[in-house]
């Protein structure tokens, strides 16, 4: 146990130095960073995703064929998100940005918790729960403008069932988010990959793109991923809500 703690301490110092030395650092985050806010990720046992198989419910063909059924899952997810608060991991990333040490967060999450945690430069790679769109006529409105008791919400222009503006499996990534993310990956020299299983593409390709352009890649995750030992230079294993505040603390200590 003690040697594990020593090893963790050494990694915290190492990543703190890497962040301070870097000219441009970005964070790539996944569902794991919101687990400590009470929003379950896809892979862990229990919770929302044992009730709704993501392959079945989160595919665009499922939405097109039975939107009212998929709205049951969306409602449960939205209720979870409405009740969730940013956790110390979101807050630590916002702090790094304020310190001038983090240039952008590219997130696969649709929960808005980075922004609520104080981050300003956030690219939502898979869209956001905050908007609803009509797939038939393009109408948009804010999710907060309707009651979750009234699902499924309908388009006032054409009566189709509205869809949250998040990317379902089988849909393209929003062009602007993809352009910004790839550009950030190509021009950064340090990427913090936090709480993503790195198996959903093209998001999982962002660290690889950065690496090919000379960036250092550091993973913070509960467990190894396909990037570990291949794309990432090192993994700090553990929960993001513990590790990220420790990194901020270490940087403060070094600069005081």
**240 is a contact residue toward ligand NAD (CB under 6 A):** yes
Binder of residue 139, out of ligand NAD, Zn ion, none (CB less than 5 to 8 A by kind) = Zn ion
Find, among 180, 202, 212, 206, the residue nearest to 193 by Cα: 206
What does the DSSP assignment read for 47-74?
SHHHHS-HHHHSBHHHHHH-HHHHHHHH
**34 is a contact residue toward ligand NAD (CB under 6 A):** yes
Interacting span for ligand NAD (CB under 6 A) from 32-40, 59-67, 150-158, 172-180: 32-40
Interacting span for ligand NAD (CB under 6 A) from 14-22, 106-114, 130-138, 151-159: 106-114
Find, among 168, 97, 89, the residue nearest to 135 by Cα: 168
Q: Name beta bridge partners: 221.
A: 237
Main-chain dihedrals φ then ψ at residue 229, nearest 5 degrees:
80, -10
Binder of residue 196, out of ligand NAD, Zn ion, none (CB less than 5 to 8 A by kind) = ligand NAD
Interacting span for ligand NAD (CB under 6 A) from 18-26, 108-116, 153-161, 173-181: 108-116
Looking at residues 135 to 194 of the shown chain, list those that interact with ligand NAD (rule: CB under 6 A): none
Q: Which residues of 120-138 are buried (b: 16+ CB within 10 A; e: fewer)?
A: eebbbbbbbbbbbbbbeee
126 is catalytic: yes
Residues near ligand NAD (CB under 6 A) are 30-32, 34-36, 39, 41-44, 108-111, 126, 195-197, 200, 220-223, 225, 239-241
């Amino acid at each position: 146990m003690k040697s594990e703690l020593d090893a963790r301490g050494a990694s915290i110092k190492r990543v703190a130095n890497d962040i301070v030395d870097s000219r441009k650092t970005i964070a790539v985050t996944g569902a794991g960073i919101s687990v400590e806010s009470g929003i379950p990720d896809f892979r862990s046992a229990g919770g929302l995703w044992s009730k709704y198989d993501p392959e079945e419910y989160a595919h665009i063909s499922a939405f097109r064929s039975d939107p009212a059924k998929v709205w049951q899952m969306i409602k449960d997810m939205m209720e979870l998100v409405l009740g969730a608060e940013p956790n110390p991991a979101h807050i630590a990333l916002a702090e790094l940005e304020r310190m001038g040490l983090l240039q952008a967060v590219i997130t696969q999450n649709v929960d808005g918790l980075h922004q609520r945690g104080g981050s300003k430069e956030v690219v939502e790679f898979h869209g956001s729960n905050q908007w609803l769109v009509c797939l038939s006529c393009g109408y948009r409105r804010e999710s907060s403008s309707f009651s979750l008791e009234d699902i499924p919400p309908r388009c006032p222009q054409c009566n189709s069932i509205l869809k949250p503006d998040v990317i379902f499996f089988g849909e393209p990534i929003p062009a602007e988010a993809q352009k910004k993310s790839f550009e950030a990956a190509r021009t950064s020299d340090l990427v913090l990959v936090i709480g993503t299983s790195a198996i959903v593409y093209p998001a999982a390709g962002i660290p690889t793109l950065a690496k090919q352009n000379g960036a250092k890649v550091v993973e913070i995750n509960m467990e190894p991923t396909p990037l570990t030992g291949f794309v990432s230079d090192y993994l700090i294993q553990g929960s993001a809500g513990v590790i990220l505040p420790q990194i901020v603390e270490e940087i403060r200590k070094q600069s005081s």
